[in-house]
Amino acid sequence: MAQDPSALPPYFNIDTDAAQAELEAPTSTAGFARIAEACARGRADLASRGLDAEGRKQLRLFSTWEITRYLIPVAQAHFRRVLRANPELPQGVSDTEAGAKWFSLDEVLRLRAFFGAQGARSKNYLPYRPKGLPAKLVAVANFKGGVGKTSTAAHLAMSAALDGYRVLVIDLDSQGSMTSIFGGQVADEWKTAFPLLARHYGEHLRAENQRRLDRGEAPQPLDETLAAAMEMTAQDVIQPTHWPNIDLIGAQLNLYWAEFQVPVWRMAARGWKLWDALTDRLEADGVLDAYDVIFIDTPPALGYLTINGLAAADILLVPLGASFLEFDSTGRFFDMLHSTFASIEEGENMAARALGRPGLAFEWDAVRAVITRYDGAQQGELAALMQAYLGRTLSPHRQDFTALIGQAGEQVSGIYEADYRDFNRETYARGRETFDATYAAFKRLLLGIWRREELAAAETELAS
Ligand SMILES: Nc1ncnc2c1ncn2[C@@H]1O[C@H](COP(=O)(O)OP(=O)(O)OP(=O)(O)O)[C@@H](O)[C@H]1O
Ligand SMILES: [Mg+2]
């Protein structure tokens, strides 16, 4: 609606009586519960639309065009020929006799394995992962909220899955956005990463108790929570998702409790290495062999859960927008990372030096800031400045702002779950290009790191 240029701006001439009449009674504490309940009902309504009979999310099908264009790089004609020649392979379904064939992702993965086993060696049918090396852990973190942590982590997880990797997603944010995206069902903290941390602490206490016994002192009993956690493995908290090769350790509000519980444990046992908790438990339960890439989404805060996620990570991605405020606050985030990890190292190394043991030194294979929601028309200059100051730490790929993401609802989370037929082809192609490029930049990092380790391992072998 065109505004009358002579009219006053809207914040003048507010009638106080009318404003008063619009007001409801003041809100009490119980008011929050009512609002929360209304949100929960609305959410349940949204979430129930288009779910399968069990109330689980379903992944869409993939067309021959999409498979040969994006997933298995072969000519469509060749793809069809191979399917015809191998009737035992998935043949796809179509709406009409002559219509395009559609496949589930599970079927795509089987087809990929087939092409990988048959095809020319040089082709990229199967994703690279050196034998014998553990999964890589990737944490996506920034204490600034809304910078695209969850969107980036979710899209990377989906791209990696489409690329054929076995992916685990760990949601450390009690807001549970990542859990919603992957349709996770999390009744309470016992289905989150919490029991893994608790068990790690419990193991520490047990070892302490053994030392007490050896000294002839009485052991300290584990409380109920710890005793319950001692029975739990990572497999107990990992749940499948509607993606055949993405599993999830979910989150929900109760996970926030860990932010209070962890420091209490740490106060009670100074020797507990809380920063090793996640890695140690994942390793002990074989998770690092069962998956190729593990993505950790973190809350917008540098609390204990984030520290655990960051300490576990091999690769740290720090999303930020190309705006002054986000650049500024990201600088302070790195400052906090420095002081937090330096103080942990210092505390440990004082004790280590006294005992003549090797010190603790955290190390990350790679740390990359990633520009998200980039608007080239407005932010080119600022992004170039950020690039000049951050150098290699800033990924050269900028993730464009794309309307396709904002539209993602409860059922369809982001570009890879969306059916391209719902969009104008060009809009779809542009949105997809943005996140394909984000993945390509990440994959380059991942492969480079794996290759570095593979070469180092070969060298050690030669030397021995
Ligand atoms: N490339 C993009 N283009 C357009 N919108 C985006 C893009 N990436 C993220 N967004 C939108 O920005 C908002 C914040 O994104 P997201 O939830 O991923 O941030 P976050 O850092 O995880 O937030 P929080 O700190 O609350 O966990 C969301 O509405 C999301 O849809
Ligand atoms: Mg988030």
- Interval 103-117: pLDDT, tens: 999 999 999 999 988
Q: Is the pTM of this model over 0.85?
A: yes
> Does any ligand 1 atom lie closer than 6 A to the CB of residue 413?
no
**What gap in Å lies between CA 70 and CA 439, rounded to an integer?**
13
> Does any ligand 1 atom lie closer than 6 A to the CB of residue 397?
no
**What gap in Å lies between CA 50 and CA 223, rounded to an integer?**
43
Distances (CA, A) of 412 to 94, 197, 451: 22, 32, 35
> Does any ligand 1 atom lie closer than 6 A to the CB of residue 174?
no
Helices 194-214 and 277-284: crossing angle, nearest 10°? 90
Q: Say which amino acid occupies 373.
A: R
Residues in the chain: 464
pLDDT value at position 303?
94
Q: pLDDT digit string (tens) for 352-404?
A: 888 888 888 999 999 999 999 999 999 999 999 999 999 999 998 899 998 77
The DSSP secondary-structure symbol of 257 reads: G
* Stretch 271-285: mean pLDDT: 95
Q: pLDDT digit string (tens) for 216-266?
A: 999 888 999 999 999 999 999 999 999 999 999 999 999 999 999 999 999
CA 171 / ligand 2 centre spacing (Å): 9
The DSSP secondary-structure symbol of 420 reads: G
* Stretch 262-275: mean pLDDT: 93
Q: Which of 174, 404, 405 gets mutated to test ligand 1 (max ligand atoms within 8 A of its CB)?
A: 405
**What gap in Å lies between CA 351 and CA 271, rounded to an integer?**
10
> Does any ligand 1 atom lie closer than 6 A to the CB of residue 145?
yes
| For residue 2, pLDDT beyond 60 | no
- Pick the closest to residue 57 from 67, 41, 68, 46 (CA basis): 46
Q: Which of 151, 371, 373, 415 gets mutated to test ligand 1 (max ligand atoms within 8 A of its CB)?
A: 151
Q: pLDDT digit string (tens) for 64-75?
A: 999 999 999 899
| For residue 122, pLDDT beyond 60 | no
> Does any ligand 1 atom lie closer than 6 A to the CB of residue 399?
yes
